[in-house]
Amino acid sequence: MNKNMLTLTKWNFKASDETEWLPAQVPGCVHTDLLRNGKIPDPFYGTNEHDLQWIDKKDWEYETVVEIDPQLQAQAKVELVFEGLDTYADVYFNGVKVLEADNMFRSWRVDVKSLVKADGNAIRIRFRSPIQEDLPKLEKLGYPLPASNDQSELGGLGDRKVSIFARKAPYHYGWDWGPRFVTSGIWREARIEAWSGVRLDDVFIRQDEITAASAKLTAVASIEAEQAWQGKLRVSAAGQVWEKEVQLAEGSNTVELELAIAEPKLWWCRGLGEAHLYDFQVELARDQHTAASYQVRTGLRSVRLMREKDERGTSFYIELNGTPVFAKGANHIPNDSFLTEVTAERYRHEIASAAESNMNMLRIWGGGIYEEKVFYDLCDEYGLMVWQDFMFACSMYPGDKAFLENVRLEAEENIVRLRNHPSIVLWCGNNEIDSAWAHYDENAGWGWKKDYTHEQRERIWADYESIFHRILPEAVASYAPGAEYWPSSPLVSLSGDKDQHANPSTTSGDIHYWGVWHNTEPFDNYNVYVGRFMSEYGFQSFPEPKTVRTYAEESDMELESKVMLAHQKNGAGNRLIKSYMELYYHEPKDFEAFLHMSQIQQGEAMKMAIEAHRRNKPYCMGTLYWQMNDCWPVASWAGMDYLGRWKALQYVAKRSFRDVSLSVDSREQEVRVHLVSDVNEPVRGTLRVQLFDFDGKELYASEHPVDAEAQASFVAFRAAEDELLQGHDPSRVVLLAQLLQKDDVLDSKTHYFVNDKALRLRRPNIRVSEVDGSGGTAFVLESDVLARHVWLSQEEEGFYSDNFFDLIPGIPVTVSFNRRNAAGETPFVTGRPGQVEVRSMADCIDPAAVVSV
């Protein structure tokens, strides 16, 4: 193949009803182009979001003029290619309309050879307003479809919700953690491709049977031929070469070549082994000449979604290479409201942070996008499994012929694009729609059904089934044979009756538990509602003050200010944070302290949930909290804020997700120390249990040998509270459990007998000393009295090896600083943090609540 490519980056843009052309950045979108040209203020600052809703009501135009080299023009095919157009776009090449796009999630390719000129070639794109485009569809349908998170009122549309008609990222229309910025633009690469002869469009390394002894594979090559062609298909990998003679017809061809690798190195998720990747080089050759080539990097592994009946219901877990995996991680949303602002470094920071936090899975939630290639490449590399939703969330969708066909093409293309990534272990139809609509249970769901007649209900549900029970599973089966598909999250099973729909008490399928938070249930209910796989649950906090000040002035630093309310997308969110805090914590001394305390509260809530799920292994085999990241600076459920700064939750996750972990709980006046192991080797060591008063005096101590089998979960120690307390004031003591292996502490957890509000804290004197020889990158922390929730902050961007921990007098803690590295492929490097500040909860609460010496 003689192939040439010209990337199209130099564009101008304007509103269709205006005359001034301005420079545009492609890939990009209207909002970011307006911002770069000084036409709008920072969309994320203050309440600016509210003033920028006019942008999505206009049509916008982009244009470029390109010189196409004679070498390109001479090829048999000259194609205009768009990897992504957002969303409704008419494309003109030298004044001729060549393309009409209507799906953000699809790519577009058209042959323009007959239109190419010797000199300047004009390309113009008119992006039709997604709002104006879809309002007539709502009118034609005759009744609204549920779309709970579509912030139509903020967008000036009243109750007219049109997001469900567009195959466009749902969160662009607003969510309960994100702003409403309904974008338009060329959001992925645009280029001219020219070729002659043959072209390898795609190669799928189908994994037919994978064991430790052998990998039986098939290379499935999709080939485009200009005319009939004869030659060889050659595949090489791991020092082996396979080839076969092929005869291609003009047009599209599919050729299969069987491959086999003896004793393959398997791909494992983080914690279970190496995430080994193979590079496959694929060529079409004739007469020692390579006519076309293609590269695939993939990992060899077997994956099954295990759903087996047992005495309590039906299991739900991922089996990787024959090994049951307890999934630990979080839900991922897009990293920005403006997708082209997400750099490769930002992706690496997120994925490396997840791995650093001992996660092994991320769920790509269905209200965002099918992610960029770099995201999946990084998950492949770091050994993070991916639960991949299709892009449908919290809404009912139309079922007309054109919409369903658009969905089918979208699904097929994205499955083909992503199917070689070993990290993707599950495809899921949608987020929360089965349980929200609850078709078979009149008294369940989110109350949507009551707004419709019986005939409308049946039609809406039939349209739902067309997408999630027919089109999507058929696409997965056809284009990624052997891959697992789950119709909706959460779901019990496709039983066709009321038992299909998940609730917090179901003992099969996966669960989204939101009783804590949305229903204001107590934190202790995290110990009560534990399902087979907890695919969503969460609790909100604010980002740190430094991040809050990127969108707010000092005068805005008040819980009910307009700016704080604008950056709280969950209507009751600020009130819920405050009401839970009043229940469990002393009153913060000021608003900045409130911001810190909100993070502490979030971390403690998630610690209780995560550890409850892990203690219940193997009944529960997955815990994915909501959410990993943010798309703008905001109060949310994220563990890492928009700027990539770790909240308290991220440190809690790192500790609670340790592969070998201790967990302490107290019920019915008994304290239990659990050991949970997610590794495939036995764990032997010593469990040390100590009780200290807040001055560091040891009041109780015992040691117990531990001999844990692989993948174990059991109670390693239990004792009555009275036996441990021996009459000491429970508000003035702390229990410390440590798992020791020779001189190493594998895990360490503190436990209190009362909640934080009842603790009799004194103001600690915390000493921070540099570790000799560390060059100012590591520190020892010590305290004269118990210091609860100690956190370090610093000038440089990065995170500590541990943070938001407790300091017991006489037991120093050593931490090191990891500086965020914006350059190169190493996401974090050991570095100096700059000026370090240390605080604890006693510094945040009302001074009247601090016990005087």
Q: Give the contacts of 8 (CB within 8 A, at least 6 positions apart).
A: 26, 64, 66, 123, 190, 191, 192
138/149 Cα distance (integer angstroms)? 17
Task: Compute the distance between CA of residue 188 and CA of residue 696 in angstroms, rounded to an integer.
Answer: 58
Residue 676 and residue 710 in contact, taking contact as beta carbons nearer than 8 Å: no
Rounded distance, CA 114 to CA 111, Å?
Answer: 8
Dist CA 712 CA 721 (whole Å):
25
Comparing C-alpha atoms, which of 336, 382, 356, 332 is closest to residue 646?
Answer: 356
Return d(Cα 362, Cα 625) in angstroms, integer. Answer: 10
> What count of other Cβ atoms lies within 10 Å of the Cβ of residue 428?
25
Question: Could you say which of 224, 356, 412, 432 is catalytic?
Answer: 432
Distances (CA, A) of 82 to 9, 106, 261, 577, 623: 12, 9, 37, 44, 38
Collapsing DSSP to helix, strand or coil, 141 comes out as helix
Among this protein's residues, is 139 annotated catalytic? no
Which one, of 397, 395, 394, 422, lies nearest residue 410 by Cα? 397
Cis peptide leading into 27, omega within 30 of 0?
Answer: yes
Alpha-carbon gap, residue 711 to 612, rounded angstroms: 16
361, 328 contact by CB (below 8 A): yes
DSSP per-residue string spanning 624-691? EES-S--SSS-SBS-SB-TT--B-HHHHHHHHHT-SEEEEEEEETTEEEEEEEE-SSS-EEEEEEEEE
Contact (CB, 8 A) for 548 and 568: no
Q: Which residues pair with 65 in a beta bridge?
A: 122
Within the chain, how many helices (H) and strands (E) appear? 17, 47
Amino acid identity at 755:
N
Q: Across-strand partners of 739?
A: 687, 747
Q: Cα(495)–Cα(440) distance, rounded to whole angstroms?
A: 10
The residues annotated as belonging to the active site are: 432
